[in-house]
Amino acid sequence: MTPPCIISVAITGSLPKKKDNPAVPISISEQIESTQAAYEAGATLVHLHVRNDDETPTSAPERFATVLDGIRKHAPGIITQVSTGGRSGAGHERGAMLSLRPDMASLATGSVNFPTRVYDNSPELVEWLAGEMKQYGVKPEVEAFDLSMIFQAVAMQRAGQIVGPLHIQFIMGIKNAMPVDREVFEFYVRTLKRLAPDATWTGAGIGRAQRTLAQWSLELGGHCRTGLEDNVRLDKDTLAPSNAALVKQVAQLCAEYDRRPASVAEARALLGLPAAVTA
């Protein structure tokens, strides 16, 4: 039985600006409204970066706290996932919001080249971030930009640095990192299944690869990520009018692969997260 599909929505990211697409939510109220609309369209996980009002990325815990509060109120039960990515701070700053106990946080388990910089994740930093997540009961989403990062995640789980079944996101289509390649994608899926049979996974494609990775993930039994962080277009001629429109696109795609979007309760059960606390 293929499980229902967890649709993750990466609403903001650290790169796209209002000039790229005016629908990119930046202010606290825009982020909360955009998440609520995406949730109503079928998203069950929100991946979150926060920005200052001038659009520069920040890792300020106060800003995260306000956005998380609003999201929990307006999208009840949605899985909250904060980014510990490198553009919003340096070193331990990147995990400053983990004490807010979101459901999940991203964890890159190695370094990789990005379009114009090195995405630097030293062994010391990766271990420290994983330790903070363990301490605060935050489930990591391992960001696999390359094959070695899958092996590293499995090793960390076996060493007790990551608790519970792994959740891995395979990312393809970032310039200078792993291109969109079907054989490699299948090898990722197969390798993860061999090393960690109880793991779950999501495919994330950048730019025009977003739809391709969603199709492959639906076909091979994984989960999908969409959102303006990775892609600001609905198709090659049209800017996406909202995060919700991108979510709707994936929700419609599900039926073509005999899948359906997971409910919040199903998504939480699939990822081994506690049921949502209802107010």
Residues in contact with Zn ion by the rule CB under 5 A: 83
**Smallest gap from residue 106 Cβ to Zn ion (A):** 6
| Residue with Cβ nearer Zn ion (83 or 231) | 83
| Residue with Cβ nearer Zn ion (206 or 271) | 206
| Residue with Cβ nearer Zn ion (233 or 260) | 233
CB 249 within 8 A of CB 226: yes
From the list 176, 201, 190, the residue with the least C-alpha distance to 270 is 201
From the list 49, 169, 177, 172, the residue with the least C-alpha distance to 116 is 177
Residue sitting closest to Zn ion (CB): 83
Q: How many CB atoms lie within 10 A of CB 237?
A: 6
**Smallest gap from residue 13 Cβ to Zn ion (A):** 5
**Smallest gap from residue 275 Cβ to Zn ion (A):** 26
| Residue with Cβ nearer Zn ion (80 or 83) | 83
Angle at 40 between CA 222 and CA 233, to 5 degrees: 65
DSSP H or E stretch at residue 185:
helix 182-195
**Smallest gap from residue 85 Cβ to Zn ion (A):** 5
**Smallest gap from residue 81 Cβ to Zn ion (A):** 9
Task: Provide the Cα torsion 94, 96, 99, 101; round to 10°.
Answer: -40
Give the DSSP per-residue string, 33-61: HHHHHHHHTT--EEEE-EE-TTS-EE--H
Contacts of 86 by beta carbon, 8 Å cutoff, 6+ apart: 94, 119, 120, 121
| Residue with Cβ nearer Zn ion (71 or 259) | 71
CB 50 within 8 A of CB 60: yes
| Residue with Cβ nearer Zn ion (36 or 83) | 83
**Smallest gap from residue 64 Cβ to Zn ion (A):** 13
